[in-house]
Amino acid sequence: MQAFLKKAKSASKTLTAPKDMNGQGKQTVKQITRQGVGVANIEISDKNIRAFESTARKYGVDFAVKKDVSENPPKWLVFFKGRDADAITAAFKEFSAKQLTKTAQKPSLHLGLENLMEKVKNQVLDKTKNKDKGREL
């Protein structure tokens, strides 16, 4: 029985393809180029690249994100398979629409706090002491 189970396990390992041959979702650039499909890329200068990843997974796009540090500020390159071009453009449209609505609806919390701090600093406090304050005879 044990010999049969060992043969079954070894046979199942040989039948499965390597992970990088049919990967899905986020991958490395090397994994995408090994698949033998034409690769295309898009430049992004957005700082919030992580939010794009969830949208790309939703569309089932195989992609790789690479940071190009040769320029200042650094830009991001998104590599994807050539056959996924339509899906990637749809994912970018949805991502950009989501980012625009997010910034339009919610004001920045840090800017609001900075404005309040400035108001507090500029507020003139009455430093005269009144002994009669709050006392009734």
Domain borders along the chain are 2-122
Q: Mean pLDDT score of the chain, rounded to an integer?
A: 76
pTM of the predicted protein model: 0.49
State residue 94 phi and psi, 5-degree precision.
-65, -40
Q: What is the pLDDT of residue 114?
A: 92
Q: How far apart are CA 16 and CA 18, in angstroms?
A: 7
For 73-104, give one letter per residue: b (16+ CB within 10 A) or e: eeebebbbbeebeebbeebbeebeeeeeeeee
89-130 per-position pLDDT tens digit: 888 888 888 877 776 666 778 888 999 999 888 877 666 666
2-122 CATH choice from 3.30.1370, 1.10.8, 1.10.1760, 3.40.50 = 3.30.1370
2-24 per-position pLDDT tens digit: 888 777 777 655 544 444 445 56
Tell me how many degrees the CA angle 68-73-79 measures, rounded to the nearest 5.
30
